[in-house]
Structure 1
């Protein structure tokens, strides 16, 4: 299943995408958030779709696309989780997952414009596979337990300001990760039955020029391991989003310029959709 949220900021309508049709699911649930996911809303939506009881949403094809998940309680991120990206960052691959946080108010729609922060000279792009939590995960016994806690997957751009992150940070990364709009998500939440999360192609472009091109098969720590590992230290709540790392090909490498006003970034993950952001100066 592909779930989206369409409409103006703060007034999105949840829909099920069925081919070229957008089916209104408000008869099942009014929002796609932690409460809905915890209550089994996705299963009820599937049942209603199978029964043919979901109406089409008029005008859906012209609406803005929002994040497929309403504001999560947490965005938990894994750093340097592709060996080649660690190398271009000047580091060896980590021996244990590196965790940092982004603030929930960084979430934006996949095609929303993004402001380059004031005083920023090093705003960077990062295509990433995002994991949406569907069931509370705390102290999981093994990585094999992770799958039952995953509601689905989505495309994420883990936008970063590298000076804020690395030079003005005091050793913590989140300062460079939490500017408004720095977590575009979507266009869809795709349920696990439609995704081979361990072998998805990720790509990015800046102004039409290729930047990143890799697959999740190159992850240092796989999805199940990440969810299990995080659960040993914190509770992952329904609706939370876990970002799993970015492959090589970012501006931090020194091979490409950082973003400036007027630049357009596009990112795509196989089967999960495509994003497009125009960058403006704040």
Structure 2
């Protein structure tokens, strides 16, 4: 797969060399390996604990063992120990789901009643200052070099393109005013969700089954790049997902109910966020539930976030047992 070069002066990527995966520095249309000597740290997460971007900027301009980016097979650029996910963080997205009767307990409402209720819910959330964060499984993080296998137990697998924050120095109970100093960079994650597993019919009002709905193998395609925080202003980035060339999601991060600082601070109140962890910021309107169109064998999703890159995810049906 050929990836569009990053627009940032440089970025980090991980790519395959035989059976191994190598950390690399991407500058323009070239990539070079980063060993411990070049990185100044034992591995990626150790580097992110105290990122020295000036060191990499020098390497980006230096002679070295560069390879054409078009010849590299990129995989997920991060190796998180924890995955945190922000829910219901785009106003229009949540309103769409509730108006469409696509959340638990909304089927008895008229569209007008549902919209009014949805807007009141989102206004109250924004006023409360309390983001909603849940956990994902790090083993679901893969690169877009891995096809997305659609499990055969459902026909309603959905997309959720998201800006993902990559944690730098460990963050534990940090305030919003200091949260951004714990952000190393950004990447792209598509939070795949199986809709009919989200609200099980046999558990009453216990709540959502986030584990079953969102953690099948490969359900967090991520990358292709980790773009350093100094090159990205997360406040107003265009975010767009195309399905087989048709635009399904088209928004900006300016629509976030809670910004990156608020999300990092909130997540860090419960447990330490570790270097290399990722925090998904939420997905805008335009999911498959809204369009009544879910993922099928042969589908191609192209997700682009301004300044962060473009990922291309190919879907395949699960092989028959």
Give TM-score scaled by structure 2 length. 0.80
* 1:206 corresponding residue in structure 2: 243
Q: Are 1:240 and 2:273 matched, yes or no?
A: no
Give the counterpart of 2:38 among 28, 46, 53: 28
CA distance in structure 1 between the partners assigned to 2:238 and 2:144 by the alignment: 18
Give the counterpart of 1:151 among 171, 184, 194: 184
Q: Which has the larger radius of gyration?
A: 2
2:74 alignment partner, SS class = coil
Q: Structure 2 vs 1, CA of residues 9 and 113 (structure 1 numbering), >3 Å: closer, same or farther?
A: farther
Deviation at 1:9, TM superposition (A): 8.7
Q: Indicate the structure with greater helix content.
A: 2
2:283 alignment partner, SS class = coil
The answer to whether the Cα contact below 8 Å between 1:83 and 1:220 also exists between their aligned partners in 2 is yes
* 2:220 corresponding residue in structure 1: 183
* 2:23 corresponding residue in structure 1: 14
CA distance in structure 2 between the partners assigned to 1:44 and 1:12 by the alignment: 22
Give the counterpart of 1:228 among 265, 268, 280: 265
Give the counterpart of 1:167 among 200, 205, 208: 200
Q: Are 1:80 and 2:114 matched, yes or no?
A: no
Deviation at 1:63, TM superposition (A): 2.2
Give the counterpart of 2:49 among 33, 38, 42: 38
Deviation at 1:59, TM superposition (A): 5.5
* 2:115 corresponding residue in structure 1: none
* 2:141 corresponding residue in structure 1: 107
* 2:289 corresponding residue in structure 1: 252
* 1:64 corresponding residue in structure 2: 73
More divergent stretch after superposition (151-160 vs 90-99): 90-99
* 1:118 corresponding residue in structure 2: 152
Q: Structure 2 vs 1, CA of residues 43 and 130 (structure 1 numbering), >3 Å: closer, same or farther?
A: same
The answer to whether the Cα contact below 8 Å between 2:89 and 2:281 also exists between their aligned partners in 1 is yes
* 1:197 corresponding residue in structure 2: 234
Deviation at 1:110, TM superposition (A): 2.6
Runs of at least 5 residues in structure 2 that lack an aligned partner in the other structure? 1-9, 99-117
CA distance in structure 2 between the partners assigned to 1:216 and 1:224 by the alignment: 13
Give the counterpart of 1:269 among 305, 308, 314: 305
More divergent stretch after superposition (161-170 vs 105-114): 161-170
Question: Cα RMSD over matched residues?
Answer: 2.1
Q: Structure 2 vs 1, CA of residues 31 and 200 (structure 1 numbering), >3 Å: closer, same or farther?
A: farther
CA distance in structure 1 between the partners assigned to 2:19 and 2:253 by the alignment: 32
CA distance in structure 2 between the partners assigned to 1:102 and 1:31 by the alignment: 26
Deviation at 1:24, TM superposition (A): 2.2
CA distance in structure 1 between the partners assigned to 2:265 and 2:181 by the alignment: 11
Runs of at least 5 residues in structure 1 that lack an aligned partner in the other structure? none
The answer to whether the Cα contact below 8 Å between 1:25 and 1:45 also exists between their aligned partners in 2 is no
1:12 alignment partner, SS class = strand
CA distance in structure 2 between the partners assigned to 1:228 and 1:10 by the alignment: 38
Give the counterpart of 2:169 among 113, 116, 135: 135
CA distance in structure 1 between the partners assigned to 2:11 and 2:26 by the alignment: 5
Q: Structure 2 vs 1, CA of residues 280 and 14 (structure 1 numbering), >3 Å: closer, same or farther?
A: same
Deviation at 1:10, TM superposition (A): 6.3
CA deviation string 1:46-105 (max 9, x = no partner):
34445x26x2344552221111112x1111000110000111121432342111111111
Give TM-score scaled by structure 1 length. 0.91
Q: Structure 2 vs 1, CA of residues 198 and 32 (structure 1 numbering), >3 Å: closer, same or farther?
A: farther
